[in-house]
């Protein structure tokens, strides 16, 4: 009998209910669109201030003088050199800083570079690419991301390198270009800048304007993302200035620019924002394009109005229409008072350096008590001609007659004031040595200081602690103490703001007129020469043309 096999019957699966085709949802409020993060500013400066450290040697010296009643309490307590300031810099949005000489404009650039002089402290925040950086971190960005064109080219150029090597070294070390290509590219740059004739010379062989152009090439060769410029048009003629304006506009389209300048034409050319500084305080912030219309502060309007074209009636009280010179072919300057004794007579004179003539043979006469202007392109030989007149270098050819009674009283006001002072001694010590050797009363120093708009506290500083404009006025003070017979002033006011330049030029012209001194002044500012000078000699590379 077979056993029957029983099958287990599984339970039927539960039939699931059909899902509804559409299930209404509760309507929620739409989410706000996500905010796009704005790109950080290339450079953002917030509450930047610069003050004198209480532990610095200079501050302790101030306190010592205060105890001996040689200094006012206000001077000793004046630790804040630059009051808190804020601004932003971006591509196509440059910043220009203008203001009085010695107001702290260059210190702002040094603070951004992270290289303030010893004894100074930077407060506030400096943000680069959205990151707040310390001084050491800022210094690490030198050349690769941030470059500085200093006020004095001598502080940037290596005196032991010939000129083309200054550029080829940058190409090799920073731009990674091979040696031969670096030299070739450097020579091309010097050719474009009109410096090729001095490619194998040293910086000391360059004129002030040529050194300025070479320093500009060095500062811009590595294409830094932020370029800081301190008086970039100083010592440049009109043609070079216009080319510089175009170069800076092109550079500013790809990088950030901060420019310290007294040149309002440069301000208008590169545009952006203008910060006006006076005594370390930001007194106004306006647009460069409308600076003349938007300026509301009295000081800003004074800067704008202090153009040399308005000087003539104020500066030169003996001003008259310029003499028209005959052609430079042996004729002397026609004068209404021919009875005056000629001071300098040149016949077929050739000047130059290293036995290389710069200009063709020239004839001219300078009379006593004249104010003569020397004009011409940068590097044409104006300083060389002045050095020849002073007897510092010998003429290459021709005849030069000089009727000086005391050669020691033929003096020069140098284009580069920092090189004319002893760097390791305070200004007070240097002036004391001068007054002692020249038998000049020391009281005359205190008399001249306010006339030159200089503070007595500057006398206790080293030359490196002063601005270029302050040094230039101190150099003029030193020169006036010696009662000169003849002055060769090489770019006497190029480092000064327009207001101070007018005051200093008024003082210089009055001093010359009252003491019957002969003055030869070099300048690239035609308006200044027209306002100040009796006659103007315009130098050209091939010959001296009398205008």
The CATH number for 384's domain is 3.40.50.300
**Residue 117 located in a structural domain:** yes
Is residue 394 domain-shared with residue 492, that is, in the same domain?
yes
pLDDT for the residue numbered 338: 41
Segments forming the whole domain that contains residue 113? 43-145+224-306
Is residue 252 domain-shared with residue 366, that is, in the same domain?
no
Q: Per mean pLDDT, which range of 33-42, 121-130, 153-162, 202-211 is the poorest?
A: 33-42
CA distance 197 to 179: 21
Number of domains in the chain: 2
Is residue 379 domain-shared with residue 292, that is, in the same domain?
no
Is residue 452 domain-shared with residue 379, that is, in the same domain?
yes
Is the pTM value of this prediction over 0.85?
no
Q: Which pLDDT band, with edges at 50, 70 and 90, does 266 fall under?
A: very high
Over the chain, what is the mean pLDDT?
81
Given a cut of 90, whether residue 168 has pLDDT beyond it is yes
Q: Is 72 helix (H, G, I), strand (E, B) or coil?
A: coil
The side-by-side arrangement of strands in the sheet containing 256-260 is: 146-149, 226-230, 256-260, 95-99, 273-278, 281-287
pLDDT for the residue numbered 281: 92
Is residue 127 domain-shared with residue 234, that is, in the same domain?
yes
Given a cut of 60, whether residue 345 has pLDDT beyond it is yes
Q: What residues contact residue 234 under an 8 Å CB cut-off, 6+ apart?
A: 151, 208, 212, 491, 494, 495
DSSP letter assigned to residue 119: T
The side-by-side arrangement of strands in the sheet containing 131-132 is: 80-89, 43-52, 120-128, 131-132
CA distance 542 to 381: 11
Is residue 261 domain-shared with residue 355, that is, in the same domain?
no
Alpha carbon dihedral 197, 203, 206, 210, in 10-degree steps, equals 80
Name the residue with tokens 């500057």.
Answer: 458
Is residue 289 domain-shared with residue 370, that is, in the same domain?
no
Is residue 285 domain-shared with residue 350, that is, in the same domain?
no
**Residue 356 located in a structural domain:** yes
**Residue 85 located in a structural domain:** yes
The pairing of strands 544-546 and 273-278 is: unpaired
**Residue 372 located in a structural domain:** yes
**Residue 180 located in a structural domain:** no
Q: Which pLDDT band, with edges at 50, 70 and 90, does 310 fall under?
A: low
**Residue 18 located in a structural domain:** no
Is residue 431 domain-shared with residue 357, that is, in the same domain?
yes
Q: Which pLDDT band, with edges at 50, 70 and 90, does 428 fall under?
A: very high
Q: Per mean pLDDT, which range of 121-135, 223-237, 258-272, 297-311 is the poorest?
A: 297-311
Is residue 290 domain-shared with residue 345, that is, in the same domain?
no
Is residue 374 domain-shared with residue 479, that is, in the same domain?
yes
**Residue 196 located in a structural domain:** no
pLDDT for the residue numbered 544: 43
pLDDT for the residue numbered 125: 94
**Residue 112 located in a structural domain:** yes
Is residue 51 domain-shared with residue 93, that is, in the same domain?
yes
CA distance 448 to 475: 12
pLDDT for the residue numbered 326: 28
């Amino acid at each position: 009998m077979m056993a029957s096999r029983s099958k287990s019957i599984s339970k039927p699966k539960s039939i699931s209910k059909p899902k509804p085709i559409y299930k209404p949802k509760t309507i929620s409020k739409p989410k706000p669109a996500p905010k796009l993060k704005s790109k950080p500013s290339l450079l953002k400066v917030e509450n930047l201030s610069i003050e004198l450290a209480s532990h610095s040697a200079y501050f302790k010296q101030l306190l010592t003088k205060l105890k001996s009643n040689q200094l006012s309490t206000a001077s000793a307590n004046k630790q804040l050199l630059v009051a808190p300031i804020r601004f932003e810099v971006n591509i196509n949005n440059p910043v220009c800083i203008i203001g009085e000489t010695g107001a702290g404009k260059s210190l702002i650039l040094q603070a951004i570079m992270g290289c303030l002089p010893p004894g100074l402290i930077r407060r506030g925040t400096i943000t680069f690419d959205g990151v707040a950086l310390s001084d050491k971190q800022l210094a690490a960005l030198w050349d690769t991301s941030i470059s500085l064109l200093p006020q004095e080219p001598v502080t940037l150029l290596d005196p032991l390198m010939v000129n083309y090597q200054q550029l080829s070294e940058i190409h090799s070390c920073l731009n990674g270009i091979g040696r031969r290509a670096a030299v070739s590219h450097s020579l091309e740059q010097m050719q474009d800048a009109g410096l090729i004739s001095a490619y194998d010379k040293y910086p000391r062989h360059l004129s002030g304007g040529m050194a300025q152009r070479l320093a500009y090439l060095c500062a811009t060769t590595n294409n830094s993302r932020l370029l800081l410029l301190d008086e970039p048009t100083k010592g440049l003629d009109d043609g070079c200035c216009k080319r510089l304006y175009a170069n800076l506009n092109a550079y500013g389209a790809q990088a950030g620019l901060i420019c310290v300048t007294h040149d309002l034409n440069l301000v208008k050319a590169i545009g952006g924002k203008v910060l006006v500084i006076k005594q370390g305080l930001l007194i106004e912030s306006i647009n460069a394009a409308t600076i003349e219309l938007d300026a509301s502060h009295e000081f800003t309007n004074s800067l704008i109005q202090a153009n040399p074209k308005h000087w003539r009636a104020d500066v030169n009280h003996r001003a008259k229409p310029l003499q028209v010179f005959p052609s430079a072919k042996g004729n002397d300057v026609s004068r209404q008072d021919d009875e005056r004794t000629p001071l300098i007579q040149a016949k077929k004179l050739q000047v130059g350096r290293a036995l290389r003539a710069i200009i063709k043979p020239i004839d001219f006469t300078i009379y006593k008590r004249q104010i003569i202007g020397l004009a011409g392109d940068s590097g044409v030989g104006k300083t060389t001609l002045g050095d020849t007149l002073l007897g510092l270098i010998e003429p290459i050819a021709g005849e030069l007659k000089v009727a000086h009674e005391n050669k020691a009283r033929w003096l020069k006001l140098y284009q580069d004031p920092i090189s004319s002072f002893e760097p390791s001694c305070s200004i007070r010590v240097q002036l004391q040595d001068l007054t002692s050797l020249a038998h000049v009363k020391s009281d005359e120093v205190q008399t001249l200081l306010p006339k030159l708009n200089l503070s007595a506290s500057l006398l206790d500083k080293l030359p490196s602690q002063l601005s270029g404009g302050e040094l230039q006025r101190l150099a003029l003070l030193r020169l006036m103490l010696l009662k000169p017979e003849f002055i060769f002033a090489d770019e006497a006011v190029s480092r000064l703001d327009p207001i101070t330049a007018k005051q200093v030029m008024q003082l210089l012209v009055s001093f010359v007129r009252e003491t019957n001194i002969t003055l030869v002044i070099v300048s690239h500012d035609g308006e200044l020469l027209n306002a100040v000078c009796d006659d103007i000699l315009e130098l050209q590379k091939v010959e001296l043309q009398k205008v």
